Structure 1
Amino acid sequence: MASHVNSFSDEPVTPASRLFLQPELDAIIHCVIGVKHPIDIDAIKVLISNGPMIKHPRFCSLMVRDQNGVEYWKKTQIDIDKHVIIIDKDNPEFTVNDYLADLSVSTPLSIEKPLWEIHLLLAHKCAVLRLHHSMGDGISLISLLLASCRRADDAEALPKMLSRGKTQRGYDWSGVFWWLWGLVTMVSFSLVFMVDFVVRTLWVRDRETAISGGAGVELWPRKVATARFWLEDMKAVKKAVPDATINDVLFGVISFGLSRYLERRSPNALKEGHRLTGVSMVNLREQPGLQDLNDLMRNKSSTQWGNKIGIFLLPVYYHKSDDDPLEYVKRSKAVNDRKKQSLEAHFSYIIGNFVMSWLGAKYACLLNYRLLCNTTFTISNVVGPQEEITIAGNPVTQLMATSSSLPHALTMHMVSYAGRADMQILVAKDMIPDPEFLAKCFENALLKMKQAAAVTTKI
């Protein structure tokens, strides 16, 4: 849609959001909400009509372009029936993951209406919320979704939003010393990782493996599989490695699982320590975790709505041995500790905004596309509510997320909910024809880590 925008109330699309609107990326988030009882279509429409989603400016605005091609959000009237899509397929061979795979390739959202839809898969008792990434990042969008839900144990209470407080250090001499040492390490690691980020974007490419993607792969047919983890298992592994985090465990599982998968796909083809580079999405808000919706929507809030995400490159390495599965977590922790002491994610965000603002969307998209072509996979992790919730009075049984396809042949998105974490594995099926086996490799990796952690704890 092309339109000349001259209304003072129209809001320009931010540089980060403009990037996701480019045809080469056209990023769409697919959020799956599974429920216990059959879906009440009328109840869902009432919830949307009266809930916070429809009141949010992004969800009742068209994306339009002025005569210079600059994108704006323009308020419009919402016709709920155009956004709620009823899918009533009663085919035993048709699965939710099949449906997501079909949506992920060449299924854009129409710009004739606000960039969101809800597909109700009646036979599977689940809804697929399709949201264009230009409307906001994963934290913004899942916070908005949860604002429409209620806790299962209290029908009037909103789900708890997770956040992490700040820690403070005293100003004694030892504190000053460690502050100075932290500054030195921050500068050092930042320089190293920034150089790696730049050269990976411009010309250095991962050596080809059985799971490598590349230019044009975003148009290839897809398959989706789900790897399911219990958070208690991940926490047990975390306790066995001093100062480890759930993300350290997750990245260790990725490294371990990919090693076992590649060992089967191409035995003896890879050398020990072969690097596979992942693109990891990082929440740059001041308070990590899910955000209070009112806080996100305040104009002057440091955590305000939008795309506030950076990127850091996650190197994982192929290893033939699995004698000590916890070594994968220890190696991942070492990498993550250095990444967290650097400004790599902030650097990627600032550089992206600079290129978009000064050189335009074409060059910003080109650089992001090259980065994806030169790396091997995408990984993201969003922490969802830890208590059970309901939507329109219907208990939610699962939360999952995936996205539209990228030049990567392998994309992984994990969302945790009520003690479980489901990771959606989106693959180019002509390159990775057996994503179910890959999912099993990840699940087995965590199981072996848990067994090793139990032995370590006893010792």
Structure 2
Amino acid sequence: MASTQSRDAVLEDHPQLLPASPTSEYIHSSILSLSILVVFELEIPIKDSKTITLLRDQFLPINTRFSSTLVRDEKGAQSWKRVDINLEDHVKVPHFPTGLPPSTYDDYLQDYLTKIALDRLPENRPLWEIHIIKYPTSNAAGTVVFKLHHALGDGFSLMGALFSCFKRADDPSLPLTFPTKNPSLKSHWKAEAWKKVSNIAAGCWYTASDFVQSVLHGTVLEDDRTAIRSGTPQLEFEQFTISTVTFSLDRIRRIKSKFAGTVNDVVVGIIFYAIQLYQQRMGQVTTGRRMTASVLLNTRMVNGYQSVNDMLKEKTWGNHFGFLHIGIPSCSNADKENPLTFLINAKKTIRRKRQSLAVYLTGRLLQMLKTIGGPED
């Protein structure tokens, strides 16, 4: 309570300060600092002469957080503070050797992404950067990388912000739009409410069991040591390398239509199957081993793309997500398993988890612990 009163007093003395959300505080601390890399691959060479103008006229006005820093009061509570911004400090243009083949620039790009992923964003300026790579790779004539701190918002918010800066290729006078078939927020909420009422008994059981499981995983339960979990202390601070793999979205859509699933079901199922194949290649049998994945869940009551204006109007901008703890299925011989089995299991598990309110209870619990122990705890 004292911490809350302290923050309220600070905000009254400094009306330009806006309190950071609890989630933003969790992912921006002395222990944890999460950033998102958004990579745009362009079909034509980059001309960066209009970069500053685009950032000033279109990007910064989207949200005041893009021209604010996070400051802490004497209790450690964080707030957003508007600052003067020098856009040149946020634009990075790396220089590689010239005249190399695109495949070589693939390696340079991968190394560069790894480097900027490890670098912590400066605290004395707004928490974002744009990196312009003018060298042709195997996939693009040029590459633009946005690095944005997760405290600014989740992927849903930040992608909406970046898309709002673009125009349609067929008519540059019009903003970028996406087709949508989702119902309104109100009707979606009614459908979800009716669904939960009709399954109230199962929902209560799932909520209780998932909440207990989530608390245990966060405190006493540990996954077994495997090829994907070494158990090495402070592994998150070790050097790592970013590598990519590309899947055709059209193929994923065709796959999901085969078993009436979602794109998310397909992606999760593919990852689970790949984990089994990897561990088998590493000479490990996964049968009987406890392995758990944290699957990101969008907690907004929307289904589909929202423009920035819609997010600001309906107050869905920011970090609105939770994590579902999902057990990774095991098998004795991944080469003999039908990959579709992993997709179907992922679909069933995620749908069952969506009937649970454990993700919201876990968020409340974290908020209570933050109030008692402070933001850094």
TM-score (norm 2): 0.85
2:363 paired residue among 331, 343, 349? 349
Please give the alpha-carbon distance, in whole angstroms, between the structure 2 residues aligned to 1:50 and 1:263: 52
What is aligned with 1:279?
Answer: 294
Classify the secondary structure of the residue corresponding to 1:357: helix
Tell me which moved more, 70-79 or 60-69: 60-69
Structure 1 pair 57–292 and aligned structure 2 pair: CA distance change class (3 A): same
What is aligned with 1:95?
Answer: 108
Structure 1 pair 37–66 and aligned structure 2 pair: CA distance change class (3 A): same
Classify the secondary structure of the residue corresponding to 1:224: coil
Structure 1 pair 357–179 and aligned structure 2 pair: CA distance change class (3 A): closer
Asked if residue 81 in structure 1 is aligned to residue 88 in structure 2, the reply is yes
Q: Aligned pairs, how many?
A: 348
Deviation at 1:189, TM superposition (A): 0.8
2:31 paired residue among 2, 6, 24? 24
2:271 paired residue among 245, 254, 269? 254
Asked if residue 339 in structure 1 is aligned to residue 339 in structure 2, the reply is no
User: Is the contact between residue 143 and residue 292 of structure 1 (CA under 8 Å) also seen in structure 2?
Assistant: yes
What is aligned with 2:373?
Answer: 359
Deviation at 1:273, TM superposition (A): 5.4
The gaps in structure 2 that reach 5 residues or longer are 1-9, 137-141
2:312 paired residue among 293, 297, 307? 297
Please give the alpha-carbon distance, in whole angstroms, between the structure 2 residues aligned to 1:252 and 1:260: 13
The 5 Å alignment of 1:401-412 reads: none
Q: Which amino acid aligns with 1:8?
A: P
Please give the alpha-carbon distance, in whole angstroms, between the structure 2 residues aligned to 1:88 and 1:285: 41
1:184 paired residue among 182, 187, 201? 201
| Cα offsets for 1:39-63 (capped at 9, x unmatched) | 2122121111110434520011122
Deviation at 1:117, TM superposition (A): 0.8
Deviation at 1:315, TM superposition (A): 1.7
Asked if residue 208 in structure 1 is aligned to residue 225 in structure 2, the reply is yes
User: Is the contact between residue 286 and residue 302 of structure 1 (CA under 8 Å) also seen in structure 2?
Assistant: no
What is aligned with 1:442?
Answer: none
What is aligned with 2:15?
Answer: 8
Please give the alpha-carbon distance, in whole angstroms, between the structure 2 residues aligned to 1:345 and 1:56: 27
Asked if residue 316 in structure 1 is aligned to residue 328 in structure 2, the reply is yes
User: Is the contact between residue 41 and residue 143 of structure 2 (CA under 8 Å) also seen in structure 1?
Assistant: yes
User: Is the contact between residue 71 and residue 79 of structure 2 (CA under 8 Å) also seen in structure 1?
Assistant: yes
What is aligned with 2:73?
Answer: 66
What is aligned with 2:256?
Answer: 238
Classify the secondary structure of the residue corresponding to 2:85: coil
Structure 1 pair 80–354 and aligned structure 2 pair: CA distance change class (3 A): same
Please give the alpha-carbon distance, in whole angstroms, between the structure 2 residues aligned to 1:237 and 1:312: 23
Structure 1 pair 115–169 and aligned structure 2 pair: CA distance change class (3 A): closer
| Cα offsets for 1:251-310 (capped at 9, x unmatched) | 1111111111110012xx324253421111111111133321012223xx242x211111
Asked if residue 229 in structure 1 is aligned to residue 242 in structure 2, the reply is no
Classify the secondary structure of the residue corresponding to 2:135: helix
User: Is the contact between residue 310 and residue 346 of structure 1 (CA under 8 Å) also seen in structure 2?
Assistant: yes
Deviation at 1:66, TM superposition (A): 2.7
| Cα offsets for 1:10-66 (capped at 9, x unmatched) | 112121111111122111111111112222122121111110434520011122223
| Cα offsets for 1:414-436 (capped at 9, x unmatched) | xxxxxxxxxxxxxxxxxxxxxxx
What is aligned with 2:341?
Answer: 327
Q: Which amino acid aligns with 1:184?
A: A
Deviation at 1:163, TM superposition (A): 6.9
Please give the alpha-carbon distance, in whole angstroms, between the structure 2 residues aligned to 1:85 and 1:169: 47
What is aligned with 1:390?
Answer: none
Please give the alpha-carbon distance, in whole angstroms, between the structure 1 residues aligned to 2:363 and 2:166: 31
Please give the alpha-carbon distance, in whole angstroms, between the structure 2 residues aligned to 1:343 and 1:147: 32
| Cα offsets for 1:173-221 (capped at 9, x unmatched) | xx98x76550111111111111110100001011010110543111111
Bigger relative CO (Cα 8 Å, ≥ 6 apart): 1
Deviation at 1:233, TM superposition (A): 1.6
Structure 1 pair 179–136 and aligned structure 2 pair: CA distance change class (3 A): closer
Structure 1 pair 11–333 and aligned structure 2 pair: CA distance change class (3 A): same
User: Is the contact between residue 276 and residue 286 of structure 2 (CA under 8 Å) also seen in structure 1?
Assistant: no
User: Is the contact between residue 206 and residue 356 of structure 2 (CA under 8 Å) also seen in structure 1?
Assistant: yes
Tell me which moved more, 322-331 or 112-121: 322-331
Q: Which amino acid aligns with 1:104?
A: A
Please give the alpha-carbon distance, in whole angstroms, between the structure 2 residues aligned to 1:213 and 1:141: 32
User: Is the contact between residue 139 and residue 289 of structure 1 (CA under 8 Å) also seen in structure 2?
Assistant: no
What is aligned with 2:3?
Answer: none
Structure 1 vs Structure 2: percent identity of aligned residues?
25
Classify the secondary structure of the residue corresponding to 1:95: helix
Q: Which amino acid aligns with 1:226?
A: T
The 5 Å alignment of 1:376-415 reads: none
Please give the alpha-carbon distance, in whole angstroms, between the structure 2 residues aligned to 1:338 and 1:183: 13
User: Is the contact between residue 311 and residue 348 of structure 1 (CA under 8 Å) also seen in structure 2?
Assistant: no
Asked if residue 43 in structure 1 is aligned to residue 50 in structure 2, the reply is yes
What is aligned with 2:238?
Answer: 220
Q: Which amino acid aligns with 1:345?
A: V
More strand by share: 1
Deviation at 1:346, TM superposition (A): 1.9
2:210 paired residue among 193, 216, 239? 193
User: Is the contact between residue 211 and residue 359 of structure 2 (CA under 8 Å) also seen in structure 1?
Assistant: no
Please give the alpha-carbon distance, in whole angstroms, between the structure 1 residues aligned to 2:329 and 2:362: 23
User: Is the contact between residue 285 and residue 302 of structure 1 (CA under 8 Å) also seen in structure 2?
Assistant: no
Structure 1 pair 208–15 and aligned structure 2 pair: CA distance change class (3 A): same
Please give the alpha-carbon distance, in whole angstroms, between the structure 2 residues aligned to 1:180 and 1:48: 47
What is aligned with 2:127?
Answer: 115
Please give the alpha-carbon distance, in whole angstroms, between the structure 2 residues aligned to 1:110 and 1:339: 38
Deviation at 1:350, TM superposition (A): 2.4
Please give the alpha-carbon distance, in whole angstroms, between the structure 2 residues aligned to 1:283 and 1:85: 31
Deviation at 1:357, TM superposition (A): 3.0
